[in-house]
Structure 1
């Protein structure tokens, strides 16, 4: 399965001048929402991701995703794995699990995002699951931005990856684009900000 081509066909691999949630800049941007707006494509990608997870033999009881970006990917993955799905969301700036969702003690979770960059939001969601008594056994995403090392990839983990070393990351593809800090970027004044946080 050519994941990069699927992103291109969905107009989800954007080229231009982008300001990222991290505050850095890039000439490329992955807009997974465009891929996931087609339920058939979302199902196809989630099933491929589920195959990789099942191969590992890891037991999964539930999927948790950070809102908003991870919701569709997480729900599709939970469907493919035939497990329960919940999500974490920000309330007053802090990631929380609300809406009556219950994390059962000892329940094994995979944290799923649409895209893993440094893994900051995924780690926040994981901490909430663990605080409530669940066990996070792995992380997953449709796409990995190349900062964290995924299962089956030769890319090395970067220093700014926030995911724990002892938990595997499953993803369908690595997308490694050069990023520029604000002081090293020559197009920051006209940058488009497409991220879900609007920054």
Structure 2
């Protein structure tokens, strides 16, 4: 998929929102990508995750396991794993920290990729990666549908994305006046299950 085709999927789903948003990192942005509007449509989700799986295979080769952070990463992680013919597992917050639960494990030698929905600062991705660092599988890298950092984020592993975007985000105490004039809303899921 091209950059424009991916963005068209978000626009057509009503998932490209404008306003004043509190991101899961706590930073603020005039643009929010409401990926759940994508994920409510299985056909649209399949198109995007199939394209992401192709990019993952091109970058990393065969993948045995996909690990994703709950909540937002579960759907793209599962759907991408399906196209990779890989197992899909996810980490959940327990006492505020990501952990593999439900008996999930990444076995020795398993070629693994972390799949996320949208990366901005990379905090959730780094937390997910850290939570499985003690697993005996081999972490090849990470992948996401949209990299909001335009390639600037450092996860400590290679990152593959369908789209890189340079969407501005600001510290809460450094908002431009036009953004400060709009009431902020928090559409993300970071506080869930904490």
The TM-score normalised by the length of structure 2 is 0.89
Q: Residue 9 and residue 172 in structure 1: after superposition, are their counterparts in 2 closer, same or farther (change >3 A)?
A: same
- The root-mean-square deviation of aligned C-alpha atoms, in Å, is 1.8
Tell whether 2:168 aligns with 1:178. Answer: yes
Within the candidate set 90, 93, 98, 1:87 is matched to 90
Name the residue aligned to 2:185.
Answer: 192
Contact 2:126 2:155 in 1 (8 A): yes
Q: Residue 98 and residue 143 in structure 1: after superposition, are their counterparts in 2 closer, same or farther (change >3 A)?
A: same
Name the residue aligned to 1:154.
Answer: none
Deviation at 1:81, TM superposition (A): 0.4
Per-residue displacement from partner, 1:8-67 (whole Å, max 9, x unpaired)?
111111001111122221111011111111001111111111111222253311000000
- Equivalent-residue separation in structure 2 for 1:87 and 1:188 (angstroms): 38
Structure 2 residue matching 1:139: 3-state secondary structure: strand
Structure 2 residue matching 1:193: 3-state secondary structure: coil
Structure 1 residue matching 2:49: 3-state secondary structure: helix
Deviation at 1:189, TM superposition (A): 6.9
Contact 1:58 1:137 in 2 (8 A): no
Name the residue aligned to 1:36.
Answer: 39
- Equivalent-residue separation in structure 1 for 2:60 and 2:163 (angstroms): 20
Tell whether 2:160 aligns with 1:163. Answer: no
**Gapped regions of structure 2 (runs ≥ 5):** none
- Equivalent-residue separation in structure 2 for 1:107 and 1:130 (angstroms): 13
- Equivalent-residue separation in structure 1 for 2:29 and 2:121 (angstroms): 15
**Gapped regions of structure 1 (runs ≥ 5):** 150-156
Per-residue displacement from partner, 1:103-154 (whole Å, max 9, x unpaired)?
212212100001111222122222222212222101011111125x2xxxxx
Structure 2 residue matching 1:122: 3-state secondary structure: helix
Q: Residue 13 and residue 108 in structure 1: after superposition, are their counterparts in 2 closer, same or farther (change >3 A)?
A: same
Deviation at 1:68, TM superposition (A): 0.4
The TM-score normalised by the length of structure 1 is 0.87
Tell whether 2:26 aligns with 1:23. Answer: yes
Tell whether 2:138 aligns with 1:146. Answer: no
Contact 2:65 2:106 in 1 (8 A): no
Per-residue displacement from partner, 1:72-102 (whole Å, max 9, x unpaired)?
0000000010110100010001110010112
